[in-house]
Amino acid sequence: MHWVGERDREPKAAHPIRVLVVEDESVVSKDIQESLKGLGYAICGTAFAGEEAIQKAEALQPDLVLMDIVLKGDIDGVEAAETIRSRLHVPVIYLTAYSDEHTLNRAKVTEPSGYILKPFDERELHTTIEVAMYRHTMQKKLKESERWFATTLKSIGDAVIATNTEGRITFMNPVAELLTGWNHAEALGNELSDVFSVRDQDGCILIKNPVTKVLEDGVVVDLRNSLLVGKEGTKLIVDDSAAPIVDDSGNIVGAVLVFRDVTERRKAEDKRAKMNGLLMAIRNMNESLLRVKSEPELFQQICESLATVQNFNLVSISLVDKDRYEIRPVAHAGTEEGFLPLCNFTWDELAEGRGPIGTAISTGTPCVVNDTATDPCYTLWKPEALKRGFKSTIALPLVNNGEVMGSLDVYSGEKDAFGPEEIEFLMEAAGDITVALKSLRLEKELASSLVAVKKALTKTVEAIAYMSEMRDPYTAGHQRRVAKLASAIAREMRMSEEQIEGIRVIGFLHDVGKIVVPAEILSKPGRINEAEFSLIRTHSSVGYEILKLLEFPWPVATAVLQHHERLDGSGYPGGLESGQLTIEAEILAVADVVESMASRRPYREALGIEKALEEISQKKGSLYNPRVVDACLKIFQEKGFQFEEPV
């Protein structure tokens, strides 16, 4: 028994080859049938005429038809074979006694699977049938495979174009038709560059066709972000790659180009990058807003931060000048090139007032010009704007307590640059600017009022000190000199400027309680008795009582109360010890003793600075804070401290 494709070792269906025998001579037909049976084939039917052959072939679906060319009836074997082959795809072998040129040519056109001349030889019949069946099976497989490839290429999401070695199109799938605007039929045979025309992303430079390079060099070529210009002028951004088609011998027989539309993806990526840029710029801006010390610096920082955003070609801030009815630019960053002074923006009813800035200021809402070339409200500024590449612009009002104080303006190098997200971001930036501006102005007001208050306080303190010393000429200037020394000690001890200022004030006021001591006692020459001394010792408590009524930002009253206390508890009025005293009182105690000993008193001559320093050195740690003593010695001995007046 014979099996289909015996030489093909793949498993096959187990049935003999079924042959339809078409022969008008019944004797010959029988002979053929016998031979076929003898060779192991099955006879599924016989026919004597062309029409009958077609009908039987349709009804019986044979694996093979053996066809005589000359038949009785209207249709001869060639015609019948053509119908059977094309309609049923059944292989046909001619078996004929005729071998003239004309008949052969007619038969050839029908692409027969074999041609056997009568009288036939069984071996030849066998071989011809086997070869015909093998070829038929192979062709069927090839067709299936081609169908599979074609279906795959048609159904994939990427566009595919194949070319021959000359770069002419041999195939394109539906996605390629859609993206290029060319249909398959009209594109076939065209040069690839006619159908697939790519430029750089800006559309300016024509890019060399990737397939040309593939065919020249035999390498795979990848291109990203090319601009594909379609048949109707449509523009798409595509990523593409082209690879050579190589035959079994390694020869390049064509190229295949695969590309996809990435326009939306690229747009989304660009948008995301732009948003990130904007976010970074606003973050940088907010960080710098915390550091700025003046309004011009604030405006400049904002403009510079925002001008870092891609396509934000110019960023400016303008403030409203109510007196002149003008909008005055105060800062800018980016490509200005003299643009702002030319603009002459206002917010009145004239044309100049109807621009984006005027509108933003008069309405208190952002105003966008999506296309400076076509927006009628931008006609006045259009020529200068376009000269500098400003294709769209936005103005955002800077609103403080319901009052529009100016505008933040951004000019972009692309049209339609300000979508809802950009507007939201920029409005947030405008809000941050207003807050920063407000706090800067408040800070300035506070600073100036603090300066005024401090000035008044200093004058008050000096007046009180002066008043108390008026009654006591011998200690005139004592408090001022103590203040100077005490604050110098505090500075040497690296205390804060605020604390140093407090110590200076305490020094000025520390003996204010002597106001209750009669002037005669204070200026009495010679020794004073115990009762008089007791009265004098009340001055620190009295000073405390007076000063506690005043609200100082420093512990003035407490330090005054403690300035005659000593570390070992031997001082007055509380007999307090180390650890219970404020540092201000400890500094004041040292400064007070040094100044007193160095000065003349009604009851004695000046002892001199050397004696004074000796005294505090000896009592360092027992009566006086060692750190304070060390600082005091250092400023006299190493830093040349002197009281203003000769002592």
* Interface contacts to Fe ion, rule CB under 5 A: 511, 592
* Cβ nearer to Fe ion, comparing 167 with 571: 571
Q: Output the 3-class SS for 24-76.
A: CCHHHHHHHHHHHHHCCCEEEEEECEHHHHHHHHHHHCCCEEEECCCCECCCC
Least distance to Fe ion from the beta carbon of 592, Å? 4
Amino acid at position 95, single letter: L
* Cβ nearer to Fe ion, comparing 501 with 511: 511
Token pair for 107:
């038969």
Q: Which residues contact 95 (CB under 8 A, 6 or more apart)?
A: 23, 32, 66, 67, 68, 116, 118, 120, 125
* Cβ nearer to Fe ion, comparing 90 with 509: 509
Do the beta carbons of residue 552 and residue 502 sit within 8 Å? yes
* Cβ nearer to Fe ion, comparing 240 with 511: 511
* Cβ nearer to Fe ion, comparing 188 with 583: 583
* Cβ nearer to Fe ion, comparing 132 with 589: 589
* Cβ nearer to Fe ion, comparing 332 with 480: 480
User: In a 10 Å sphere around its CB, with 0-12 CB exposed, 13-18 middle and 19+ buried, how is residue 571 labelled?
Assistant: buried
Do the beta carbons of residue 77 and residue 50 sit within 8 Å? yes
Least distance to Fe ion from the beta carbon of 614, Å? 19
Do the beta carbons of residue 230 and residue 179 sit within 8 Å? yes
* Cβ nearer to Fe ion, comparing 63 with 511: 511
Strand partners, 373: none
Q: What is the C-alpha to C-alpha distance for residues 529 and 523, in angstroms, rounded to an integer?
A: 13
Least distance to Fe ion from the beta carbon of 521, Å? 14
For residues 306-328, one letter each, b for 16 or more C-beta atoms within 10 angstroms of the residue's C-beta and e for the rest, the string is: bbbbbbbbbbbbbbbeeeeebbe
User: In a 10 Å sphere around its CB, with 0-12 CB exposed, 13-18 middle and 19+ buried, how is residue 277 labelled?
Assistant: middle
Strand partners, 228: 198, 236
Give the closest residue to 57 by CA, choosing from 24, 30, 86. 86
Least distance to Fe ion from the beta carbon of 545, Å? 15
* Cβ nearer to Fe ion, comparing 404 with 606: 606
* Cβ nearer to Fe ion, comparing 356 with 513: 513
Report the length, in residues, of the chain. 647
Least distance to Fe ion from the beta carbon of 590, Å? 12
Give the closest residue to 563 by CA, choosing from 534, 535, 596, 592. 592
* Cβ nearer to Fe ion, comparing 163 with 540: 540
Least distance to Fe ion from the beta carbon of 283, Å? 57
Q: What is the C-alpha to C-alpha distance for residues 175 and 254, in angstroms, rounded to an integer?
A: 20
Least distance to Fe ion from the beta carbon of 518, Å? 16
Least distance to Fe ion from the beta carbon of 560, Å? 8
State the DSSP H helix or E strand holding residue 406, giving kind and residue range, or none if neither.
strand 403-412
Distance of CA 321 to the CA centre of its chain: 36
Least distance to Fe ion from the beta carbon of 595, Å? 7
Q: What is the C-alpha to C-alpha distance for residues 559 and 589, in angstroms, rounded to an integer?
A: 9
Work out whether strand 197-199 and strand 252-261 pair parallel, antiparallel, or are unpaired. unpaired
Least distance to Fe ion from the beta carbon of 636, Å? 18
Do the beta carbons of residue 490 and residue 554 sit within 8 Å? no
Helix ranges, 262-316 (H): 263-291, 295-306
* Cβ nearer to Fe ion, comparing 373 with 519: 519
Least distance to Fe ion from the beta carbon of 539, Å? 6
Distances (CA, A) of 610 to 297, 434, 491, 594: 53, 61, 22, 9
Do the beta carbons of residue 592 and residue 517 sit within 8 Å? no
Least distance to Fe ion from the beta carbon of 482, Å? 6
Least distance to Fe ion from the beta carbon of 289, Å? 49
* Cβ nearer to Fe ion, comparing 472 with 511: 511
